[in-house]
Structure 1
Amino acid sequence: MDYRTAGVDVAAGRAFVDRIRSSVEATHRPEVLGGLGGFGGLCRLPSGLSQPLLVAGTDGVGTKLELAQAHGRHHDVGIDLVAMCVNDVITSGAEPLFFLDYIATGRLSPEAMAAVVEGIAEGCRQSGCALLGGETAEMPGFYGPGRYDLAGFCVAVVEEAALIDGSRIQAGDAILAVASSGVHSNGFSLVRRILEASGATASTPLPGSDRGLLDALLTPTRLYGDLVKALLKAPVPVRGMAHITGGGLPENLPRCLPSGVEARVDPSSWERPPVFRWLQAAGEVPESDLWNTFNLGVGYCLVVPPEAEEAALACCAAAGHAAWRLGEVLAGGAEDSSGISGLPL
């Protein structure tokens, strides 16, 4: 017996690293030291910071991977992986520095794995952070052939005096919504059950859209790093930000609010995208479950003083992000409050 007959091809692993080298190194920032292949990645802090704070986040893609792997959408879930991490750390006003990935698979498929890493590199390029390194583990007998799981880790930096932690939010502030690209990477356990029950296939069209259903569901998570950078450079006085992930608006928007206030949201301020209308109808999903599972078209939220609302919306438009007034901050927020009101929960 040898390692290869046990299911692990070391030579294929080395060939894989060689293949992705150019994609990884293309993401490197000036602060990165060395290249791919060391036991640890090296990155300096950017110059000019007096009291830098490091902000770290980790996440995965979840069961969206099941659907993506079944339909060969490996590049797109690489972007998803970066977005789920980067969109979290930038809510503090931090600049993403570097990203690490972990890929676990039953048997290394060089084509599929390279597509994943190229997607990760694309997400890093869009976010301005370096793909500093990663790990690919072949685990035959643990994962089935052709199956893989992903985890991502992002480190960002922010000047302590510029930290956005929601503490300056006050009653009267405007809450702005920034559009999602679709379902992003949350709620796919429910999505897959609906697909199975509905009998939808790869050729099923999405009513109310010129896209196919599967294409809409597998659209990569939108990255908001460019928008946050533009807002802070403008400068727009952003007092709080929220990434709308699992749990939807009810769970995520209150996370950026200080005690003593709550968010009042107007559900009529936007039209729900077709993919969510299809999911509700095909799955007969109760309204409260929709709000607590999906982003429903809102991928990111900004909290700004009312006098900065127009400037913030103009900055979003200039950065290519559809945005609108979602609601406002109200005094309140008792201990037994959910921190959000106005939703049909």
Structure 2
Amino acid sequence: MKNSHSESYAAAGVDVTAGYESVERIKPMVESTYIPGVMGTLGGFGGLFSPNVSGMKKPVLVSGTDGVGTKLRLAQLMDKHDTIGIDCVAMCVNDIICGGATPLFFLDYIACGKNNPARIAEIVAGITEGCRQAGCALVGGETAEHPGLMAEDDYDVAGFSVGIVDEEKIIDGKDLTAGDVLIGLGSSGVHSNGFSLVRKVLDVEHADLTTPMEELEGKSLGETLLTPTRIYVKTIQCLLNNGIHIKAISHITGGGLYENVPRMMKQGLTAQIETASFPVPPIFTLIAQKGNIPMRDMYNTFNMGVGMILAIPKEEAGHAKDILCRSGERAYIIGSVVNGDAGVELV
């Protein structure tokens, strides 16, 4: 690529040499995510991965794709871009693990008004950290300049991941029964959902994002809101490796508990959740108060402190919670599966 340069294209707003510089900056970070199965290195037209399917009777690929949404505006306002990539990875791999699949690899897409190689490297630093937390490899991606479509300092981040699971081990809720216990895994905060409402209610464009706040336990508003989405992949794998029978999993994303929990239930069963059984982080209290938002809407928009919900047999609940606590996870028994067609019922 030493001879690749177009003055005409650069005059139109796209500097291809900046793209090459970005690749050189991120290459060591990308290679730090490589796991067995990765073939080749960064720079090809497609990412190559050879999965190990030994011991599997019928391997099934599971895919997930998502972005970060308007949480990106917080990163831009604070000029802090090194954690937003964790959110992007989390939104994809947390979906994949709901089916019991192990994430294998990840690809990112970064669109920007102008390619700033240092900023791109910051973004990718978060993406690679997310991949390491999830145990998957970053095998490729794309950075695209969109002059005239986006302002120079604007950017958007999206991702795509693929995992694998043996068909007989897919977690899909088919064997759920009344009496199964629901375990909630603590969230790290707002995660990456509901930020259009957050930004409106807290007026983040004009708010003080850096001063510690008593309402947020001494943290600043910006720090609290930018806290990356928690990645639950290794937690779920730990439970499965210890023989816990996980019957169903729900990743609590946009739409909160009311929208996401029913997705793991089968017809005739309802998840009955006791809202007093887990602590609600102070950021949600602040949002509700500032926006005068009804609790029903809060639980229908945000995770409210629970980023993932598992359904397991009642007799395994104690053992599962012990494993989770020993692994550093904040886990709460938040309810049970009951007969009914509501899907989810908060009490």
TM-score (structure 2 length as normaliser): 0.95
Q: Deviation of residue 197 (structure 1)?
A: 7.9
Secondary structure of the residue that 1:2 maps to in structure 2?
A: helix
> 1:52 matched to which residue of 2?
59
Equivalent residues in 2 for 1:1-345 (5 A)? Answer: 2-48=8-54, 49-196=56-203, 200-206=207-213, 207-333=215-341, 337=342, 339-343=343-347
Question: Partner amino acid for 2:232?
Answer: Y
1:197/1:318 CA distance change after superposition, 3 Å:
closer
Q: Distance in 1 between matches of 2:121 and 2:334?
A: 40
**1:116-139: per-residue Cα shift (whole Å, max 9, x none)?**
111100000110100010000011
Q: Distance in 2 between matches of 1:74 and 1:172?
A: 44
CA contact (8 A) 1:198 1:282 kept: no
- Tell me how far apart the structure 1 counterparts of residues 295 and 205 of structure 2 sit (CA, whole Å): 19
1:208 Cα deviation (Å)?
A: 4.9
Preserved contact between residue 226 and residue 319 of structure 1 (Cα < 8 Å): no
Partners of 1:298 and 1:101 lie apart in 2 by 26
- Structure 2's unaligned 5+ residue stretches are 1-6
Shift of 1:212: 1.3
Aligned counterparts of 1:162 and 1:208: Cα–Cα separation in 2: 41
String of CA shifts for 1:189-219, please: whole Å, max 9, x gaps: 0111112189531234331512112111110
Q: Alignment partner of 1:264: what SS?
A: strand
Q: Deviations over 1:298-337 (max 9, x none)?
A: 100110000000111111112211011111000111xxx3
Q: Which amino acid aligns with 2:36?
A: P
Paired residue type of 2:221:
L
In 2, are the aligned partners of 1:36 and 1:133 still within 8 Å (CA)?
yes
Change in Cα spacing, 1:191 to 1:53, as seen in structure 2 (3 Å) is same
Instruction: Label 1:20 to 1:190 Cα distance change in 2 as closer, same or farther (>3 A).
Output: same
Q: Deviations over 1:245-264 (max 9, x none)?
A: 00001111111111110110
- Matched AA of 1:217: L
Q: Deviations over 1:168-189 (max 9, x none)?
A: 1110000010000000000000
Distance in 1 between residues matched to 2:48 and 2:250, nearest whole Å: 30
Q: Which residue of 1 aligns with 2:3?
A: none
2: distance between equivalents of 1:282 and 1:318?
Answer: 37
User: Could you say if the C-alpha distance between residues 197 and 212 of structure 1 is closer, same or farther in structure 2, counting changes exceeding 3 Å?
Assistant: closer
Q: Is the 8 A contact 1:198 1:283 kept in 2?
A: no
SS of 1:326's equivalent?
strand
Distance in 2, matches of 1:199 and 1:38, equals 43
**Does structure 1 retain, via aligned residues, the 8 Å contact 2:77–2:205?**
no
Pairwise CA distance, 1:31: 0.5
How far, CA to CA, are the matches of 1:118 and 1:194 in structure 2? 30
TM-score (norm 1): 0.96
8 A contact 1:97–1:157 mirrored in 2 = yes
Q: Secondary structure at the match of 1:97?
A: strand
Q: Distance in 1 between matches of 2:229 and 2:26?
A: 22
